[in-house]
Structure 1
Amino acid sequence: MKYWLFLALAIVAEVIGTSALKGSNGFTRLWPTLIVVTSYSVAFYFLALSLKAIPVGIAYAIWAGLGVVLITLVGWLALDQKLDGAAIAGVSLIVAGVAVINLFSGAGGH
């Protein structure tokens, strides 16, 4: 169970880092840049720890899928980015894919 917690921490750190990317203005602003570098370092550290028990393909699919969903929500809620029907449908398919992996696949090692 702790490896799934490590994966969750990796996802949260990645979303924080990605959220700060825009504010870094191409890595020209110090504090947002430090948040990006620190967050991605933490994300990769916890992703690496999660790989001790979770297959790399499954961990990466969940990390990337949930990261896309969460950063889309951050963009919509905090950055006033608009989502059209196609974007909502695409994100919904990502959620469905992550759910199928977690609920029905034996490859996830749970």
Structure 2
Amino acid sequence: MTAAHTYLGIAIVAEVVATSALKASEGFTRPMPSLITAVGYALAFYCLSHTLKSIPTGVAYALWSGVGIVLISAVGWLWLGQRLDAPALLGLGLIIAGVVVINVFSKSITH
């Protein structure tokens, strides 16, 4: 795993934490969730900027957003009581398949 992959992983996790806290911030009216949201997004973009030093922008963004979508959907399902029906699960499966294809077959990423 390269430094770019580490930065990308941190960016993804920070974005998921920030998005999770965003709902709890209630329109930035609650201080602690609002702070977690702001710091999480700042850290996510900082780490994403370092990722872009060696992974092409389109590929990095596809991985960041794809994995982020799947993880935030899992957070919503597990902790926020949101339901995922069959079409949602199918769509998430396709996103996961896309991330796997990019990671396994793309020559744009250095492993």
Q: How many residue pairs end up in the alignment?
A: 110
Partner residue, 1:42: 43
Partner residue, 2:55: 54
Moved over 3 A (4+): none
Aligned positions of 1:16-31 closer than 5 A: 16-31=17-32
d(CA) in 2 for partners of 1:32, 1:92: 30
Counterpart code for 2:73 = T
Unaligned runs of 5+ in 2: none
How far the C-alpha of 1:107 sits from its partner, in A, is 1.8
Q: For residues 20-42 of structure 1, what are the alpha-carbon distances to aligned partners after superposition, in whole Å with 9 as ceiling and x for unaligned? A: 01100011111100000000000
How far the C-alpha of 1:108 sits from its partner, in A, is 2.2
Partner residue, 2:92: 91
d(CA) in 2 for partners of 1:19, 1:108: 29
When you count helix as a share of all residues, which structure comes out higher? 1
CA contact (8 A) 1:55 1:109 kept: no
Counterpart secondary structure, 1:107: coil
d(CA) in 2 for partners of 1:44, 1:97: 22
Unaligned runs of 5+ in 1: none
RMSD: 0.7
d(CA) in 1 for partners of 2:107, 2:17: 30
Partner residue, 2:34: 33
d(CA) in 2 for partners of 1:55, 1:109: 10
